[in-house]
Structure 1
Amino acid sequence: MTSHSYVGGVLLALAIGLELSGTILMKVSGGFARLWPSILMFACYGASFTLLNFAVKYMPLGVAYAIWSGVGITLITLAGHFFFGETMKAISLVWMGFILIGIIGLKWS
């Protein structure tokens, strides 16, 4: 891995973490009923998009976006289950696996 792809990967990982945080804060905000979680949600999403924007300087846009959205979908589904008690059927794990396989395939191609 070159130093440029490493920088892009780090930026992308941070963007994913902030997207996850923003989405969790969306749930915690209760539909904007709670002020601070709502403000923090917007800050996390803004920072996430900013870091994603910087990451695409180091990697193809399609790959960066697929990783950002696919990993984000997978992590938020797991967070919803473990932190908020949302139902997750076993088949959901299969479909999340397909998302991750697709991301890996896109990255390798």
Structure 2
Amino acid sequence: MPEFVPIHLLYLAIAIALEVVANVLMKLSHGFERKGPAVAAIACALAAFTALSYAIEGIQLSVAYGVWGGVGLMATAVLGMVMFGERLRGSGWLGLGLIMLGVMLMKFA
């Protein structure tokens, strides 16, 4: 693995943000019936994978992908609650907590 360069963390943060935006746009597309949000969701998802590919040049794949997926899932869940009034039961909160723990443990991988 090459020496750590902070730009790779920026690429990872961009990948996470784009993934979350893509997920919200998918919801707004109503099952891809609304073409504008659907096309934007696909573009954001492709851009997220592109940013992730740059991130893994300097961050281990297992760490980058785990953080990308875990943080993206947590942010998407929070936005679902804020923007769409979605709610989680206790088991959902437990699951989010376990994901957060897993992401923190990946730092030591």
Is 1:108 aligned to 2:71, yes or no?
A: no
**Relative to total residues, which structure has the larger helix share, 1 or 2?**
1
Partners of 1:48 and 1:102 in 2: CA distance: 21
Give the number of aligned pairs: 107
1:34 maps to 34
Gaps of 5+ in 1: none
- The residue number in structure 2 matching 1:72 is 72
Normalising by the residue count of structure 1, what TM-score does the alignment of the two structures yield? Answer: 0.91
Compute the displacement of 1:89 (Å): 1.8
Distance in 2 separating the partners of 1:31 and 1:91: 26
Amino acid at match of 1:100: M
Question: How far 1:107 sits from its partner (Å)?
Answer: 1.1
Q: Which residue of 2 aligns with 1:50?
A: 50
- CA distance in 2 between counterparts of 1:32 and 1:101 reads 34
What residue is the counterpart of 2:8 in the other structure?
8
Aligned partners of 2:26, 2:96: CA distance in 1, in Å? 22
Letter of the 2:11 partner, please give it.
Answer: L
In 2, distance between residues paired with 1:73 and 1:7? 23
Structure 1 residue 68, shift from structure 2 partner: 0.4
2:30 equivalent to 1:24: no
Cα distance in structure 2, aligned partners of 1:28 and 1:16: 19
In structure 1, what is the Cα distance between the partners aligned to 2:7 and 2:100? 21
Q: Deviations over 1:13-51 (max 9, x none)?
A: 000000000000000001111111011001100000000
Unpaired runs of 5+ residues, structure 2, are none
What is the one-letter code of the residue matched to 1:85?
Answer: G
Paired with 2:86 and 2:29, the residues of 1 have a C-alpha distance of 17
Other-structure match for 1:95: 95
* 1:97 Cα deviation from its structure 2 partner: 1.5
Q: Write the deviation string for residues 76-104 of structure 1: whole angstroms up to 9, x where unpaired.
A: 11111111111212442232121111111
